[in-house]
Amino acid sequence: MPELPEVETIRTALESYIVGKNIERVTVSLPRLVKNVSVLTFQQKTQGCTILGIRRRGKYLTLLLSGSVHVMIHLRMTGRLLYMDRLPAMTDHIHIYFRLNKGFLVYHDVRTFGGFWLVPITGMTGIDGYDSLGPDGNSPKFTATYLYRLVQKRKSTIKAVLLDQKVVAGLGNIYVDEALFLAKIRPDEKANVLSLHACKVLHEAINQVLTQGISHGGTTIRDYVNGIGKKGSHQHFLQVYGKEGSPCPRCGHTIQYIKLGGRGTHFCPLCQRRKGR
């Protein structure tokens, strides 16, 4: 699933291509991807609007429109949001597309877990997963003190806490594993044993891995490409994620892989020791 750096990279790639464009027609070939209104309503409320901007919060993208609603999008596992000059000949996995006055904004999804919502331009969206989001992992509201106060109340593992979008928005498996490695904290450590110092180190690590991920255009493991179809390069800079059996880049010990809360998890058992510091 695209995480904060990937979704941010998609946003910035699309911005110069779609902002200021008019939506002439909306085609939906898989109606269940439109989550909170009928396809007809979705089309009627968006056709004729101008795209004024594109915003990201957590893993959600929002098309800011000139009408009475905005369009919120979540890519889930394999969704791609792409600008194209013209539609390809083969459109098997293109389920929604916006015909613009110049070009197309296309939603491509092999596994079809993504979603589109119409939301009011002000106030609550009515989308549980969005309205309850915590601060972005790279926002000024996400501080070491905020993190420390939250982990003191949690008996779950620190990885589970960081994956909870109500705690911090935008983090997923890749960047959590990378941040915990950088901070030398085991992913299966209980969150409430972490000291304020450990949370400061972890907070700095989270900011660092997110910044690096964005600067490298995101991580392409399988499906991810940015808004114009370009792969990211951060996969070449990963320290532990997907590196099971390889030597730790810090100490040389073997990187291990475990299942933690149903999620594949990578860490160095020597560098990342138990107990909060």
Q: Is 197 marked as a binding-site residue?
A: no
The rounded Cα 7 to chain-centroid distance in angstroms is: 5
> Shortest CA distance to 51 belongs to which of 41, 69, 68, 66?
66
Q: Is 2 a catalytic residue?
A: yes
Triad 139, 140, 143: Cα angle to 5°? 100
> Shortest CA distance to 214 belongs to which of 126, 271, 118, 137?
137
| Encoded amino acid at 50, one letter | T
Q: Is 263 a catalytic residue?
A: yes
Triad 94, 105, 43: Cα angle to 5°? 85
Q: Which of 2, 21, 45, 80 is catalytic?
A: 2
Q: Is 93 marked as a binding-site residue?
A: yes
- Pairing state between β 79-84 and 94-100: unpaired
Q: Is 70 marked as a binding-site residue?
A: no
Q: Which of 11, 59, 99, 243 is catalytic?
A: 59
Q: How many whole angstroms separate alpha carbon 159 and alpha carbon 13?
A: 30
| Encoded amino acid at 15, one letter | E
Q: How many whole angstroms separate alpha carbon 63 and alpha carbon 74?
A: 11
3 state DSSP class of 158: helix
As given in the structure block, the two tokens for residue 274 are 């138990």
> Shortest CA distance to 194 belongs to which of 232, 162, 231?
162
Q: Which of 35, 57, 76, 263 is catalytic?
A: 263
Q: Is 3 a catalytic residue?
A: yes
Q: Which residues are annotated as a binding site for DNA?
A: 93, 111, 154
Active-site residues, by number, are 2-3, 59, 263
